[in-house]
Structure 1
Amino acid sequence: MAPQQSRFRWLRLWTDYTDGFDYGNQTPQQRRRKILYTLKRSGFGWQMVFVAGFGFLTDTYDIFSINTILPMISIVYWENKLPARYRLGLNLATLLGSMLGQVSLGYLADRRGRRKVYGLELTFTIMASLGMAISSPGVFNSMSLIGLLIWWRVLMGIGVGSDYPLSAVLTAEYAPAEYRDTMLAAVFFFQPFGQLVAVLMAFAATAGFKSRIANVTSCSINATDIRAVECANTVDKAWRLVVGLGAVPAIIAIYFRFTIPESVYYSLDVKGDTIQAMKDRRFFESTKESGDSFEMESIAPDDESEVENGSVVDGQPGHIPQAQIQTPAPAINPDPQQGWFGAFFAYLGRDWNWVDLFATSVNWMLLDFTFYLLGVNSSSFVPILFGENTGPERPVYSLLIDEERHIMESSSVGALLGSLAAIAIMLLRSSRPFLKNFNSPRKVQMWGFVSLAPLFVIVGALYVTLPRTRAHVAIVFFYQLCNLFFNLGPNTTTFIIPAQLFPTQFRCTCYGISAAMGKLGSVLGQIVVTKVQVGNGLGGTMIGFLLVMLAGAALSKFITPETCDSKGNSLELDDLGERQARQAALQQREKEYREEAQQANEDGAARRRR
């Protein structure tokens, strides 16, 4: 059996065959300590990043592929004159579905468990992708194509939205504090990557059919010319191919999601099942730092330990510092008369905890109010940035290929670079003095908002003066910078911060509420952009985004919770659940740092005297 297990081990991503520890001989407190110690030493969880990231790639591909397929659909069915209300309806369908998925699946993940619902969101996404790809207007328009597309986009939005709280919270609960922000940033990197893949797939589909549409200027199913009808048939295949391919990464990731073990934090804090948590923690521990090689004798029972300088000492060389051992927390079983919702609202009302949810929600709403202008709605105005002629005399191939290239040049490159920079900052912040002002997600978010404020003013002013100045290169450059600083700053950090806050039993729900408020902001943004996208209205709106960015910066500085200490080291999840515990943990960390600095100064002075 051993060779067979080794041969197919790559299919069992979560399986670790090392065991041999007798769980029954330990107290619940000892089990919790071992579990959290193992988690702390587990290293960078590439498995979790891969599984969460691939699903996130699918989500982003499905959301942003609308930019590449709408021009195709418009050409085939509406002679390149898609009504604005249809465009708005398709965009809003995804966003409203996302809001529903974020709140409902976030709640279910807290009530039923992370494992029981993880993977369900990808089934929605797969069904929606395939359903959208085979949507048809019927014979002689017996069915409403736009109605079918909107329905499938709603279902797709539910799947996409559900993935936010599940992937983010599971990644945070699987990650050691040292790598938590980096792992979350790495998962979020799949958003701009998925955006790029969507454009590349559309580019490849268009290029693959070049011979059939290269010299055709009229392309519609309602045309009488045979070449125009053949062109419409070809472009129709292209957009359906692009949409259908969105199911591929989801199919790859869904097996690993359905087989993922339960979050140990959920098993410990909600179910109170330390035995199951002991079994599950083996699935994510690294081979190099295997928890099974750790001897439990190095943790003394409570009555045999004494606290010295913040450490638990058992008299043996292998004692574990207090920073690596969390105080056991009992499972949360709400009063039956109070119920889950009663406990939830009691938590929000205690010690101003509601402020954390308010901050993460409003930050996300302010971000998405502006971000989705640059993302989901970009196909409607990107050609203007490049000064392209979109008239009917242009060949269909040239029209499509240029629009896809412009979306990639104006959005995807900057977003990718911004996400890579965010990962680098999260990884290096505690070891690089020059990153002192960026050594926590909150600070990165604040400076990201600050940087975006003048950029929007510049882009808006250039857009207003574009007919006179023809400064297309300049506006595209600054538009790219906007995308870069979005992903370097608040677009990444609004994904990271709420995944670490809130108690375990409410974490997915609060994350879902925060993300849903973001989508509410994007809905409002879509409506505003649709109303003003005539003449100089859009440019003036971009200039007005200055106020939105400054509001986000102020909220980030004064209200948004801090998840790291002054040296850029993340707090443990147990300390981040409630404001009072978080503030106490931060004060304790700073006290220890001051004592270390004082001791170092005294030692240095003693050496100089000698």
Structure 2
Amino acid sequence: MARGEQLEVLNALDVAKTQLYHFKAIVIAGMGFFTDAYDLFSISLCTKLLGRIYYYHPNSPKPGGLPPGPQSAVTGVALVGTLLGQLFFGWLGDKMGRKRVYGMTLALMVVCSIASGLSFGSSAKGVIATLCFFRFWLGFGIGGDYPLSATIMSEYANKKTRGSFIAAVFAMQGFGILTSGIVALIVSSSFNHAYPAPPYQDDRPGSVVPEYDYMWRIILMFGAVPAGLTYYWRMQMPETARYTALVAKNAEQAAKDMARVLNVELQAEAEKVEKFTEKSANKFGLFSRQFLRRHGLHLLGTTTTWFLLDIAFYSQNLFQKDVLSSIGWIPPAATMSAGEELFRIARAQTLIALCSTVPGYWFTVAFIDIIGRFAIQLMGFFFMTVFMFALAIPYHHWTLKDHRIGFVVMYSLTFFFSNFGPNATTFVVPAEIFPARLRSTCHGISAAAGKAGAIVGAFGFLYAAQSKDPAKTDPGYPTGIGIKNALIVLGCVNALGMIFTFLVPEPKGKSLEELSGENEDEYDDKADYATASSNRTAPV
């Protein structure tokens, strides 16, 4: 087969017109991301409530949230599980196939979402420990959804609108964040009869009304609903033709599956598939020098940019209630009951998600195949850097009552440009530029690097923000100097993200096989042959 020649079944996918199956795949894969975002970010709404239910001592002068230790555990344990799940299921998706592994991750998410809401214990530590256990395994299942959803969508899409389709799957994350706020608003409003009257002297362990304990449990358990609703349809999806043909080497099944999806007649091309998959130039493994030479810088680019992006993105999302409380946009905890505080935090998160987070995702969907991944990612990092410094340097100016709305607007713009920027593109690009037999694995590695950044952001922001401004008197919230310094650090992190973006190639308008080099029929030069000859490493 000549260099650049394509299998008929893969070419049919590359040039297929947008049709119903594309949108069906977006919804099926996207609902996994809807659930992922809901589960990961709904916990930030519950931490204040958990603190007031289980950790508020009667002698404490003012109600606050969870202490730093339990809060970092509850917030971070799911991220640790997600990181490990991305690595494990990413590798498994290349070994067993995308579809076979896809159902496992969703089933794990459903079970652990319900179990998180049923967390039990005879003491505060017992409840938090049980919650952390289930949230770890919830994160493990969520982790598998990243490489599998991205890989499946990239392998189903045509090359003209592939970026928009993958970005649309990821954009469901925005609706998950929005829904977590809406569900919290509904739950807190439903129990408003339980709010004690001011001055809330009975809002403490032993006298807290039982409804408060129901609130966080209902919010967490709701994450099982969207995942459960899409399980059947996910299991009905056929395996992707690129995996079936290029990895499993079953030309007949690949043609049969895609003929049914595309409603066209396709030839099996068994001999052509054999030639395509047996070319020694494309048999290198993940840990070979051949992979390092061809894709090493690409993998470095996708991992570093995702790592840096998630430091900022998860810090902002998981601790936005603390940032907004520090400038007084959310009132001090002492002025509210636990249920009212949940309502106000959820309202703030919902407003930001509706006005900036969700639109940012869909701007990417609209423009990614027009202006390209590279331009969007570079632009996003640039504006995130600008707005972070604009918030941090004159931080105390923004804390004045007349300037709080300006702070919220600029803070919202950092969410908009993270999503109309690197938060979307770091997910899209790793699903496009690596070979089919390593695609899920490399996406999992890139995503795991991102979750390592999220862990750094979650733990780092929590402890950095504990530094108090002496001018502030409310011990319930991290404020002042700590928040300001954290925002400066996040601005520097985003600036580094701009630099590492230059390692990432532009996949716009090219087929997956062009990008990965899988349709090359011969070695580029003698150096390629020498490298390949010395690396008879089996693919991992």
Q: Is TM-score (shorter-chain normalized) higher than 0.5? A: yes
The equivalent of 2:510 in structure 1 is 571
* CA spacing shift, 1:580–1:524, aligned 2, 3 Å: farther
Which amino acid is 2:218 matched to?
Answer: L
How far 1:385 moved relative to its partner?
Answer: 3.4
* CA spacing shift, 1:348–1:450, aligned 2, 3 Å: farther
The equivalent of 2:242 in structure 1 is 265
Contact 1:501 1:578 in 2 (8 A): no
The equivalent of 1:553 in structure 2 is 498
The equivalent of 1:376 in structure 2 is 318
Superposed, which structure 2 residues align to 1:239-250 within 5 Å? 239-250=216-227
* CA spacing shift, 1:328–1:460, aligned 2, 3 Å: farther
Could you tell me which of 93, 100, 105 is aligned with 2:77? 93
Contact 1:353 1:579 in 2 (8 A): no
Contact 1:382 1:407 in 2 (8 A): no
Which amino acid is 1:504 matched to?
Answer: A
Superposed, which structure 2 residues align to 1:91-240 within 5 Å? 91-138=75-122, 141=123, 144-213=126-195, 215=197, 217-218=200-201, 222-223=205-206, 228-230=207-209, 233-240=210-217
Contact 1:195 1:412 in 2 (8 A): no
Could you tell me which of 392, 404, 419 is aligned with 1:472? 404
How far 1:549 moved relative to its partner?
Answer: 1.8
Measured in 2, the distance between the counterparts of 1:378 and 1:123 equals 30
How far 1:212 moved relative to its partner?
Answer: 1.8
Q: Secondary structure at the match of 2:334?
A: coil
- Give the TM-score normalised by structure 1: 0.76
* CA spacing shift, 1:158–1:245, aligned 2, 3 Å: same
Contact 1:181 1:426 in 2 (8 A): yes
Measured in 2, the distance between the counterparts of 1:202 and 1:329 equals 56
Measured in 2, the distance between the counterparts of 1:347 and 1:123 equals 38
How far 1:56 moved relative to its partner?
Answer: 0.8
Of residues 501-510 and 119-128 in structure 1, the stretch that sits farther from structure 2 once superposed is 119-128
> CA-to-partner distance for each residue in 1:25-55, whole Å, 9 max, x for gaps?
xxxx999314532552142500110100111
Could you tell me which of 47, 51, 74 is aligned with 1:74? 51
Measured in 1, the distance between the counterparts of 2:460 and 2:6 equals 54
Measured in 1, the distance between the counterparts of 2:299 and 2:110 equals 31
Q: Secondary structure at the match of 2:208?
A: helix
Superposed, which structure 2 residues align to 1:534-545 within 5 Å? 534=467, 535-545=480-490
- 2:313 counterpart of 1:330: no
* CA spacing shift, 1:571–1:405, aligned 2, 3 Å: same
* CA spacing shift, 1:214–1:204, aligned 2, 3 Å: farther
* CA spacing shift, 1:241–1:332, aligned 2, 3 Å: farther
> CA-to-partner distance for each residue in 1:490-539, whole Å, 9 max, x for gaps?
00100111010110000000000000001111111222212210231221
Measured in 2, the distance between the counterparts of 1:462 and 1:66 equals 30
The equivalent of 2:393 in structure 1 is 461
Measured in 1, the distance between the counterparts of 2:330 and 2:231 equals 41
Could you tell me which of 360, 365, 380 is aligned with 2:302? 360
Q: Secondary structure at the match of 2:318?
A: coil
How far 1:369 moved relative to its partner?
Answer: 0.9
* CA spacing shift, 1:113–1:388, aligned 2, 3 Å: closer
* CA spacing shift, 1:401–1:524, aligned 2, 3 Å: same
Contact 1:422 1:487 in 2 (8 A): yes
* CA spacing shift, 1:30–1:498, aligned 2, 3 Å: closer
The equivalent of 2:343 in structure 1 is 401
Contact 2:333 2:341 in 1 (8 A): no
Measured in 2, the distance between the counterparts of 1:103 and 1:332 equals 27
- Give structure 1 stretches of 5+ with no counterpart: 1-28, 303-325, 430-438, 565-569, 586-610
The equivalent of 1:43 in structure 2 is 18
Measured in 2, the distance between the counterparts of 1:215 and 1:445 equals 49
Higher relative contact order (CA 8 A, sep 6+): 2
Contact 1:174 1:284 in 2 (8 A): no
The equivalent of 1:54 in structure 2 is 31
* CA spacing shift, 1:76–1:283, aligned 2, 3 Å: farther
The equivalent of 1:440 in structure 2 is 372
Contact 1:214 1:398 in 2 (8 A): no
Which amino acid is 2:511 matched to?
Answer: E
Contact 1:115 1:262 in 2 (8 A): yes
* CA spacing shift, 1:520–1:580, aligned 2, 3 Å: farther
Measured in 1, the distance between the counterparts of 2:338 and 2:79 equals 30
Q: Secondary structure at the match of 2:237?
A: coil
How far 1:327 moved relative to its partner?
Answer: 9.5
Of residues 385-394 and 518-527 in structure 1, the stretch that sits farther from structure 2 once superposed is 385-394
* CA spacing shift, 1:99–1:124, aligned 2, 3 Å: same
How far 1:169 moved relative to its partner?
Answer: 0.5
Which amino acid is 1:390 matched to?
Answer: P
Could you tell me which of 446, 450, 456 is aligned with 1:524? 456
- Give structure 2 stretches of 5+ with no counterpart: 57-63, 468-479, 525-540
Contact 2:249 2:273 in 1 (8 A): no
- 2:330 counterpart of 1:388: yes
Measured in 2, the distance between the counterparts of 1:158 and 1:329 equals 38
How far 1:218 moved relative to its partner?
Answer: 4.3
How far 1:214 moved relative to its partner?
Answer: 5.8
- 2:273 counterpart of 1:291: no
Superposed, which structure 2 residues align to 1:311-330 within 5 Å? 330=276
- Give the TM-score normalised by structure 2: 0.85
Aligned residues: 496
Which amino acid is 2:277 matched to?
Answer: A
Percent identity between matched residues is 26
Measured in 2, the distance between the counterparts of 1:211 and 1:374 equals 32
The equivalent of 1:418 in structure 2 is 360
> CA-to-partner distance for each residue in 1:393-416, whole Å, 9 max, x for gaps?
423343221111112223442111
How far 1:349 moved relative to its partner?
Answer: 4.0
